[in-house]
A and B are shown apart, each in its own frame.
Chain A
Amino acid sequence: MKNLFPILTVVAAIVVLWYGAAVWLNAPWAYDKAQRADITLSTSGLIADTWSQKKPKLPAPHQVTQEIWKTTAEKKITSKRSLIYHSWVTLSATLLGFALGAVLGIALAVGIVFNRTMDMSVMPWVITSQTIPILAVAPMIIVVLNAVGIQGLLPKAIISMYLSFFPVVVGMVKGLRSPDHMQLDQMRTWHASGAQTFWRLRLPSSMPYLFTSLKIAMAAAIVGAIVGELPTGAVAGLGARLLAGSYYGQTIQIWSALLVAAALAATLVAIIGLIQRIVLNRMGMAQ
């Protein structure tokens, strides 16, 4: 709990800065309105206006909070206006993409560690795959999969997987190679097979690396899911809310979708962090 105070201090500082920035960014529009209505704005009037505009350049924190409250607690979950509904759409694609990415990443890492040809041939492509902007690839994945009749959850999950497998490959290759010479020599003196060395030494040794890369992969997976929602015509999901918001200048809607996405990502990463703590503690590997 001693971590709480510094965190709250930073949060408070951000809120103060945010309110200040809202005044500064929204003031021109407030003056504009005042001029047309032919009234002079007092300072308090200016501040009140900048914190309550309908389509502000930067909505104030309480406006975003109210919007989130309205679109979560006060809406039915099945409603298209419910952020919980949209979060679930994004979350399901994220989790499926994350699972696919983790499985693909671990499989590739095992191949790379055990097969020299794969080490030489696959790794460069894995790295290259991440240099291609996902925004360019995403629409093509959607279009191509749609052409073969696959739509809905899976195309988004695949884009999500595309981003999330990478940290898992890199982390697991490092993790599976983490046993030192002595430990590998020891296995050799017992005439252990490759499979025995993998299950009894390499895999357990890689656990700290696995969890660290899973956390990064989860954050990447949610970005992938949101990006995957953009080219589908913004039907549903947090990405759709972001896109629709930007079409209609609904800055409050954009910010609330943004914050919910951030909270979702933070929660998912925290869950992995918790599992990591429990598992590594039980394995006697906690740092």
Chain B
Amino acid sequence: MSNNTIISAKDLSLTFQTNDGPVHALKDVSLDIKKGDFVSFIGPSGCGKTTFLRVMADLEQPTAGSIKMNGVSPEEARRSRAYGYVFQAAGLYPWRTIGGNIRLPLEIMGYDKADQAERVKRVLELVELGGFEKKFPWQLSGGMQQRASIARALAFDADILLMDEPFGALDEIVRDHLNEQLLQLWDRTQKTIAFVTHSIPEAVYLSTKIVVMSPRPGRISDVIESTLPRERPLEIRDSPEFIEIAHRVREGLRAGHSDD
């Protein structure tokens, strides 16, 4: 474990006890994520990618192995608000304005009023929603709502951003746009991002590191270090390099399925 490792999992396993017997959601998963990495987790449903993210967030408890976030346990990381979590649904409260929704975690964490206002303004600019502070969620499109939910996760300056299929419910065109914005945001904020998806182009386009996972039991079948530059216009998706990486991801996914 080097100095700039921010998330480190070692032999992590998680078994759910169900009526149909034990389900091995994660089995012996080991992974190091470096500070500033953009890591995508990709795989078919049941491969444990979301479970892995939830373990990082202390929303699930591993049954074996160890995991450190910022050098401490996920629980301590959660208590010290070391990460922001973006769910698949925006989950904005309809009775609060966009500004009010972003203020919500800040209120809970006890930031003072002036600080709250300043932060809300800043993160709204960051996700290009300046001027929408007083609008209500129903006045925004699905893509804008998801951007607001990302702004909410950014508002309290956590170093790590955990994103669970944040654009899964959006259409392709909106998704492209948001991917582009997310990359710019990552570049500007220097956050470490762990991103769950089941879209190969999305994973390749966004990531510095792609973790391919396979199901039954949930495990890592391949880790691909991206050779793409940090600066990525949308057209990069037609480059041979991009196609090469996408191909390797697809191979990894297929290999994971061969033992079905």
A interface residues (Cβ-Cβ under 8 A, vs B): 182-183, 185-192, 196, 200-201, 204, 282-285
Contacts and interface: CB of A to CB of B under 8 A. Distances in A.
Contact of A284 (B85, B105, B138): B138
A285 B95 contact: yes
A204 B59 contact: no
8 contacts: A182-B88, A182-B89, A185-B85, A186-B87, A189-B57, A190-B108, A192-B108, A284-B136
Interface in B9-54: none
Interface in B63-98: 78-79, 81, 83-85, 87-89, 91, 93-95
Contact of A196 (B78, B83, B108, B138): B108
A198 to B, nearest CB: 12
A185 B89 CA distance: 12
Interface residues of B, number: 24
Contacts of A187: 108
Enumerate the 5 nearest inter-chain pairs by beta-carbon distance, A residue then B residue, closest first: A284-B94, A283-B95, A189-B85, A190-B105, A192-B108
Contacts of B91: 182-183, 186
A285 B57 contact: no
Given A185-B59, A204-B93, A283-B95, 15 more contacts: A182-B88, A182-B89, A185-B85, A188-B58, A189-B57, A189-B78, A189-B83, A189-B84, A191-B78, A191-B79, A191-B109, A196-B108, A200-B108, A284-B94, A285-B94
B182 interface: no
Nearest to A282: B95
A266 B92 CA distance: 36
B137 interface: yes
A204 B109 CA distance: 20
B241 interface: no
Contacts of A282: 95
B244 interface: no
B107 interface: yes
A283 B83 contact: no
A65 B158 CA distance: 71
A182 B87 contact: yes
B78 A186 contact: no
A183 B95 CA distance: 14
Nearest to A193: B108
Contacts of B79: 191
B224 interface: no
Contacts of A201: 93
B87 A204 contact: no
A182 B93 CA distance: 12
Nearest to B94: A284
A182 B90 CA distance: 10
Contact of B81 (A191, A200, A283): A191
A186 B78 CA distance: 11
A186 B59 CA distance: 10
A114 to B, nearest CB: 18
Contacts of A196: 108
B43 to A, nearest CB: 21
A75 B83 CA distance: 72
B59 A283 contact: no
B104 interface: yes
Contacts of A189: 57, 59, 78, 83-85
A196 to B, nearest CB: 5
A31 B83 CA distance: 89
Given A191-B78, A204-B95, A185 B87 contact: yes
A196 B94 CA distance: 17
Contacts of B107: 200
A186 B138 CA distance: 20
A287 to B, nearest CB: 12
A284 B137 contact: yes
Nearest to B156: A190
A189 B93 CA distance: 16
B180 to A, nearest CB: 26
B130 to A, nearest CB: 22
Contacts of A200: 104, 107-108
A83 B87 CA distance: 59
A190 B81 contact: yes
B158 to A, nearest CB: 10
Contacts of B89: 182
Contacts of A188: 58-59, 78
